Amino acid sequence: MIIIVAASTVVVRAKNARRNSDCSRENIEAIVMLKRYSYAKVKKMTNSHEHVLGKGGFGTVYKGKLLDGSGIDVAVKILKDSKGNGDEFINEVASMSRTSHVNIVSLLGFCYEGSKRAIIYEFMPYGSLDKYISENMSTKMEWETLYNIAVGVARGLEYLHNRCVSRIVHFDIKPQNILMDQDLCPKIADFGLAKLCKKKESIISMLNARGTIGYIAPEVFSKSLGGVSHKSDVYSFGMVVLEIVGAKNREMPEMSGSNNSSVYFPDWIYKDLEREETMRMFVDEMTEEEDKLVKKMVLVALWCIQTNPSDRPSMNKIVEMLEGSLEALHVPPKPLLGSPAVMVSVEESQETSSMPTSSQLEK
């Protein structure tokens, strides 16, 4: 009996190793077609890393120019030195190389020299959505612009989920990973945590939770709440939309009597909905049309963050809801979950990570 069990284990491990090998081979083949740069050229491209655009958990992004004489500006993400086999790097480059959509950042090339790894992609003059909102928070931003940003991100995710050769689940949708071009068109970036899967697959197997606290779907860190799937991106999108809406007045949580710097947005918004005072949180006056746009964003976002993944709409339905009439929408049930893992911190910066245990998240 022991011999049989041992033999079975070896067979399973062999199959898993073969599957992982096939996946890596497929990913490597995907990036071979891209322009590959030496690290020396990457350094020259960024003028020895002179202009920093931003920093994150995986590395630093610099502004650069292509070396082909065109003078085209680019963004160069140089990953932290790593002694690993580069699985996350290959995963990100392979994922981005499979995409072509107006709301997805275009990949222009890469560098892979041992521990020296870099990704070259189109330059976004307005930076991240997070930066755009924070810099314009004190001014009167156009609600139609914010609505169009939400619709653009929704279309980008719908493309990743339904219209790529392989379904891509991003797993780290947040304002910091949404970049803005010169026309304020939003583009999804940073595919370091993305997973590729067959379109017919509904549940994704993961060893570790992944994402950024404040945007992680509850099922990602607690299997009892449902299976992890593309609906996990839907949850993150909902929290991003609530961030867009709530960022118009970030002092509202304190004004409402909260002693916590982290406020669970839905609790805040549902109270306004119950009082039929949805717009109470906004200081500036709105036109009737703007009022409808904001209400639509709020209602769609609340549908996206339902605790049970099966209760959340798909991204193609979300695009339909955002572009449809307000009268067709109704208030969804209030989510039952209000744990720290789904709370957005007003003060703290969120770091992207892969988290090994749910107990660490709960802390």
Is residue 190 among the annotated active site residues? no
Q: Which two tokens stand for residue 304?
A: 């996206």
- Distance from C-alpha of 255 to C-alpha of 10, rounded to nearest angstrom: 61
Name 351's Cβ contacts closer than 8 Å, sequence gap at least 6: 56, 57, 212
Distance CA 360, CA 257 (A): 29
Using CA atoms, how far residue 348 sits from 5, 141, 343, 344, 356, in Å, is 49, 23, 11, 9, 22
Per annotation, catalytic residue among 22, 73, 130, 172: 172
**Is the Cβ–Cβ distance between 225 and 218 less than 8 Å?**
yes
Number of helices (H) and strands (E), helices first, in the chain?
12, 13
CA distance 123 to 26: 28
CA 153/CA 41 separation, integer angstroms: 33
Other Cβ atoms less than 10 A from the Cβ of 9: the count is 10
Q: Is 199 annotated as a binding residue?
A: no
**Contact between residue 55 and residue 79 where contact means Cβ atoms under 8 Å apart:** no
Instruction: Report the amino acid identity of residue 44.
Output: K
- Residues tagged in the binding site annotation for ATP: 77
Q: Show binding-site residues.
A: 77
Residues annotated catalytic, as ranges: 172
